[in-house]
Structure 1
């Protein structure tokens, strides 16, 4: 672990239907900027934060949150830490190594349709602004 603030538990939000033991790997398109293939897999120590990521993920499938464990080194996610916010208030991390699915989490808080639309609008504005650049 490189400079991370906690030891978990960790969560990953997605619309993929995954099984216990599955490994999530880097090398897929960003949910927020689909023209970018990501060099890392992202996760958080906040279940509702993973839920937000799941709801914002591309596709029409049901959003899901999984309890995950890193299989290698990880670091604070620079997309939401010091460059944009002091410290790591979202407890967000990334790893070039896979993360393993440990369990599905079902008690995370869903967004209202209005709140979800508000997030989508904010992301669209950030995509047009240099502050929305993804640090890959």
Structure 2
């Protein structure tokens, strides 16, 4: 019996409570920015980017990181590529197609509180300046 190659699994950071087998879709309230209906959903191949996603997500729930599989094509996340970081060092992507939740990372370390607070203040300043943090 030949072994099949591993499928690339990605991470999705959020405060939403999701179940294994559930799908993350567009059209729901975004975790970021003005909390409008999301035209894209986001994932990353790095745990660090997913940690940021969980830490910066809107809401009061517990920060969570899910393992997800895209069901369709993904593209580089323009919010983190080229404009801010040449190439795609965070390996962050977006899609209009659902992501299937295949697991949850329950043990992970967050960023230091001062680093998270600095990032949140930066995002608040962008909002005050009328700059939307998420480009749809």
User: 2-side partners of 1:121 and 1:82: how far apart?
Assistant: 23
Query: Which stretches in structure 2 are left out of the alignment for 5+ residues?
Result: 1-6
Q: What SS is found at the alignment partner of 1:42?
A: strand
- Which stretch of the first structure deviates more once superposed, 88-97 or 113-122? 113-122
User: 2-side partners of 1:84 and 1:111: how far apart?
Assistant: 20
Q: Give the match for residue 87 of structure 1.
A: 87
Q: Give the match for residue 115 of structure 1.
A: 115
Q: Give the match for residue 28 of structure 1.
A: 28
Find runs of 4+ consecutive structure 1 residues off by over 6 angstroms: none
TM-score by length of 2: 0.85
TM-score by length of 1: 0.85
Q: What SS is found at the alignment partner of 1:88?
A: coil
Q: Relative to 1, partners in 2 of residues 1:35 and 1:60: Cα closer, same or farther, differing over 3 Å? A: closer
Check conservation: 1:26, 1:96, Cα contact below 8 A.
Answer: yes
Q: Give the match for residue 67 of structure 2.
A: 67
**Which of these two proteins has the greater Rg computed from alpha carbons?**
2
Q: Alpha-carbon deviations, 1:52-91, whole Å to 9, x = none? A: 1111111111100011000011100111112332100111
Check conservation: 1:42, 1:77, Cα contact below 8 A.
Answer: yes
Q: Relative to 1, partners in 2 of residues 1:35 and 1:64: Cα closer, same or farther, differing over 3 Å? A: closer
Length, aligned pairs only: 130
Q: Give the match for residue 46 of structure 1.
A: 46
Q: Relative to 1, partners in 2 of residues 1:59 and 1:134: Cα closer, same or farther, differing over 3 Å? A: closer
Check conservation: 1:14, 1:54, Cα contact below 8 A.
Answer: yes
- Displacement of 1:102: 0.6
User: 1-side partners of 2:82 and 2:60: how far apart?
Assistant: 33
Q: Alpha-carbon deviations, 1:75-127, whole Å to 9, x = none? A: 00111112332100111000100000010012322123222211101111233
Q: Give the match for residue 56 of structure 1.
A: 56
Query: Which stretches in structure 1 are left out of the alignment for 5+ residues?
Result: 1-6
